[in-house]
Amino acid sequence: RTPPFYAVIGQPIAHSRSPQIHQAFAAQFGMRLRYEACAAPLDGFAATLQTLRAQGLRGCNVTLPFKGEALGLAEQMSDAARLAGAANTLGWDEQGRLWADNTDGAGLLRDLRRHLDLQGRRVLMLGAGGAVAGCLAPLMQAGVASIHLSNRSAEKVAPLIQRHAALPCPLHSLAWGSGEGAGFDLVINGTSAGLSGAGLTLPTGLLAPGAWAVDLVYGPAAQPFLQAAQAQGARTLDGLGMLVEQAALAFERWHGLQPQTPPVLDALRRSLE
Ligand code: NDP
């Protein structure tokens, strides 16, 4: 029997760790799996999805820059995907209808909860792109005291606040570069500034003593932000745990099986060293 066919679609995609992660999950269940990293042309996501479907694709992860387009193609979507305005996980139900989910936010929460108690935390999120949009609703529902949103391009913040207005957590905007002395308990960097080597300057006292700083990016690109936060006394976490947890939630949606994530995260971290 041919193994079931899954994929991750993005542009660029060669660097993706998703095939390695999904194969490690499959191995836990003795399952044979075909999981491929597939590049789609920037104007050809829908066509690529159709071609892969004709080849037997059962579901896929979606990454930059196609998460919004992926949601638009779906006939059914989870609340998480709707609030995010983006999908990172697609699949077809038994009637062949395309469904969309977004496991980024739930994945971040699972990883955060391994390290800290979110209850009553004052949170600052930097960025207003797809990753932040995906994490906002789950964080707002996690018992935090409040969330401030700050983005270089200020005009992207208000629509995000509006879309989440019905959720029971105070959500405020904060001017980019401000927050001196604010003493946040948790600061999440959801920008891609580190990837371009731009780095971020943190205002003095942005983090409370003993606060947590989390970068959604992993590897060297996370270091400028995490080191700046450490200099303010923060404990730090990069985005590798989130990457593994969002993959585990997608795996569960497709296969109905809950993989163990810690050994996969450990192996992945070692392979990146
Ligand atoms: P988007 O392109 O949608 O958004 C990028 C964000 O970064 C925008 O808010 C943008 O601000 C900001 N930004 C970019 N460069 C700079 C800079 N030099 N200074 C300040 N702000 C900057 O990307 P995503 O939201 O999809 O992804 C963000 C990051 O999160 C990516 O690096 C991605 O790798 C990571 N990620 C990690 C995941 C994980 O599982 N660990 C899952 C998903 C994403 P502006 O609006 O002003 O342009």
Query: Does residue 198 line the site of ligand 1, with CB under 6 A?
Result: yes
Distance in angstroms (rounded) separating the CA atoms of residues 144 and 210: 17
Say what angle helices 130-140 and 104-115 make with each other, to 10 degrees: 60
- Inform me whether the pLDDT recorded for 212 exceeds 80: yes
Q: How confident is the model at residue 195 (pLDDT cuts 50, 70, 90)?
A: confident
CA nearest ligand 1 atom 34, residue = 217
What pLDDT score does 167 carry? 94
Options 67, 121, 122, 255, the catalytic residue: 67
Q: Which residues have CB under 8 Å from 34's CB, separation 6+?
A: 2, 3, 4, 5, 6
How does pLDDT run across 69-113, given as a tens digit for each residue? Answer: 999 999 999 999 999 999 999 999 999 999 999 999 999 999 999
Residue 138's alpha-carbon distances to 2, 81, 143, 147, in angstroms, are 37, 11, 10, 12
Which ligand 1 atom sits closest to the C-alpha of 243? 40
Express each pLDDT in 12-60 by its tens digit: 999 999 999 999 999 999 999 999 999 999 999 999 999 999 999 999 9
Q: Among this protein's residues, is 67 annotated catalytic?
A: yes
Nearest CA-CA partner of 144 in 211, 203, 218, 56: 211
pLDDT at 184 over 90: yes
Would the CB of 103 count as within 6 Å of ligand 1? Answer: no
Class of domain 105-238: alpha beta
Angle among Cα 272, 13, 3 to the nearest 5 degrees reads: 90
Is the Cβ atom of 156 under 6 angstroms away from ligand 1?
Answer: yes
**pLDDT number for residue 200:** 85
Cβ of residue 246 lying under 6 Å from some atom of ligand 1: yes
Q: What pLDDT is attached to residue 84?
A: 94
Q: How many CA atoms lie within 13 A of 263 on its CB side?
A: 8
In 3D space, the residue among 136, 130, 83 whose CA is nearest the CA of residue 109 turns out to be 136
Residue 1 clears pLDDT 90, i.e. is over it: no
The helix (H) or strand (E) run that includes residue 39 is strand 34-39
pLDDT in tens, 108-155: 999 999 999 999 999 999 999 999 999 999 999 999 999 999 999 999
DSSP state of 231: T
Rounded Cα distance, 108 and 217, in Å: 12
Q: Which amino acid is at 33?
A: L
Q: Do domains 5-102+241-272 and 105-238 have the same CATH topology?
A: yes
Domain residue ranges in the chain: 5-102+241-272, 105-238
Instruction: Supply the pLDDT for residue 273.
Output: 86
Reported CATH class of domain 5-102+241-272 = alpha beta
Ligand 1: residue of 191, 200, 217, 244 to mutate (most ligand atoms within 8 A of CB) is 191
Confidence at residue 90, expressed as pLDDT on a 0 to 100 scale: 98
**pLDDT digits 0-9 by tens, 214-257:** 999 999 999 999 999 999 999 999 999 999 999 999 999 999 99
